[in-house]
Structure 1
């Protein structure tokens, strides 16, 4: 399976609640640029899962209008929540895009790629594309791409 961890783009600092924080103008541009890069590489059957936060929904919408909101991906979700939602390592689909938050996405990447309990930093609108594979009877996670919005 391919697991794409995509952090929401830049959002407002303040709103009525944390879940209500919307993308800034810069954040909308970041999300659109990353979505354009992703769209040319994703298979048609990719599944997009987003946190219930407005900023993650707005980020997901730049990629597709076919996404699911998963409350277990809300801010402060655990790495286990993300991996369970995606169905890692066999997948709920061959490609799953998780639009979520830090430090959760950093925990997922550190666990899968570094066998670590740390949280690796991920810039707003940045992504990690991780592939699961089996080699010699062992499940492995392989980094296919790491993208920052300022590199697109």
Structure 2
């Protein structure tokens, strides 16, 4: 989870929050409003320098939304300032992989629960792709267990060796 936060006491832009994964939940807030106009902006294409306004506010607010594209960048832009100290914050959530479903049928194939990783069905193949960012330890664990299930062809409980 990453957060960009600070205060405006003049016009200017905040630091930028980079959100890589698709579908992450973002929490945005402005508080202790003085007299100013603050915009939440999203960069049209990563590192393009072209920003689009998502919303513009002159009062306190807090809301949550889910991003709809990969590799998005967000910032606040104080475009008009008269008085006060305006606190801002934008934070992304933790995107967790909790289950694997068949893309064609929607059938549950595997999931995490209080017992750990559980394989619910049979895998008859696995699609390979390229990861564009380092894996977290729990992601490496899940991939290793899925590959073991596919390699062993068991479709049931996976035992540690």
TM bucket, shorter chain: under 0.3
Higher relative contact order (CA 8 A, sep 6+): 1
Q: Which has the higher helix share?
A: 1
TM-score, structure 1 normalization = 0.24
Q: Which has the higher strand share?
A: 2
TM-score, structure 2 normalization = 0.23
Larger gyration radius, structure 1 or structure 2: 2
